[in-house]
Amino acid sequence: MLNAMTALGQGTRLVYQKGLRRYIFLPILVNVIVYATLLSVVITRFSGWLDHWMSLVPGWLDWLSWLIWPLFVISLLAVVFFTFTLITHLIAAPFYGFLAAKVEVQATGHIPLDDRSLARTAIDALGRELVKLAYIAPRAIALFVISWIPGVNLFAPLLWGLFSAWIMAITYLDYPMDNNKVAFSDMRRRLSNHWWQSLTYGGLVTLITWIPLANLFLIPGAVAGAVLMWDQHYRTARELTAQDTTDRLRHNAKTPP
């Protein structure tokens, strides 16, 4: 049974093999530019943000400053992380969707059910990212508010960790599902039904996104790993039968009589 670590390892090896390498360099370049830009903003402004939020702590909680300060740091880092993630994936989504489609063909032998043109796929990928953003943003804001409530915020790091794993599962596993015409609501239901696989994969991807520089080269592997997870855990038998039929029809259409 394929697990998160194995999927990520196999996916990373796969995308750097001949035939797929050319599909990963443009997303990496996009990530490098976005990360460099956002990192420069964070480095110059982080201390000011932290001082501002610490100034809002009421005087009667000064005796808890030793605990509140690291919680503020963790919360701000979580917000920065989500900002980085949302922006980079919004920009790189069309490339990742195309990469996922190529990986599916090479790794599983199945052609994605989606038969849209490249341009249409790119446009729809951006729309799908906005749907994800509409799902993520209010939940992230609610969790951010909770992070500042005295007492309750003691659980904020754990909640952010679980939320990050869930969002990363949605972000990456959606690429192959979108390519196979799985609706966003249906995708979330499937992830919930296989919650252990979803959270472990999302958690592992969350960890690698925190690795400076290396994450830029591991993210394409996470996309490929998500395709392997889709094929192993989330694709239904009915879809597999339909996929086999579609593959045969496409093959016969290309084969001269």
Residue identified by tokens 């943003």 is: 137
pLDDT digits (tens, 9 = 90+) for 131-184: 988 998 899 888 888 877 777 777 878 888 899 899 999 999 999 999 888 999
Q: Is the pTM of this model over 0.75?
A: yes
pLDDT digits (tens, 9 = 90+) for 193-249: 999 999 999 999 988 887 767 777 888 999 999 999 999 999 887 777 666 666 555
Residue 252 lies in a domain: no
Residue 255 lies in a domain: no
Residue 250 lies in a domain: no
Report how far residue 3's alpha carbon sits from residue 14's, in angstroms, rounded to the nearest whole number: 16
Contact 231, 108 (CB under 8 A): yes
Residue type, 45: R
Residue 61 lies in a domain: no
Structure tokens at 176: 């192959």
Structure tokens at 90: 């919004």
Structure tokens at 171: 């972000």
Contact 213, 28 (CB under 8 A): no
Residue 116 lies in a domain: yes
Residue 257 lies in a domain: no
In total, how many domains does the chain have? 1
Residue 251 lies in a domain: no
Q: What is the 3-state secondary structure (H, E, C) of 115-147?
A: CCCHHHHHHHHHHHHHHHHHHHHHHHHHHHHHC
The overall average pLDDT reported for the chain is 80
Query: What is the extent of the structural domain holding 176?
Result: 4-55+67-245
Residue 256 lies in a domain: no
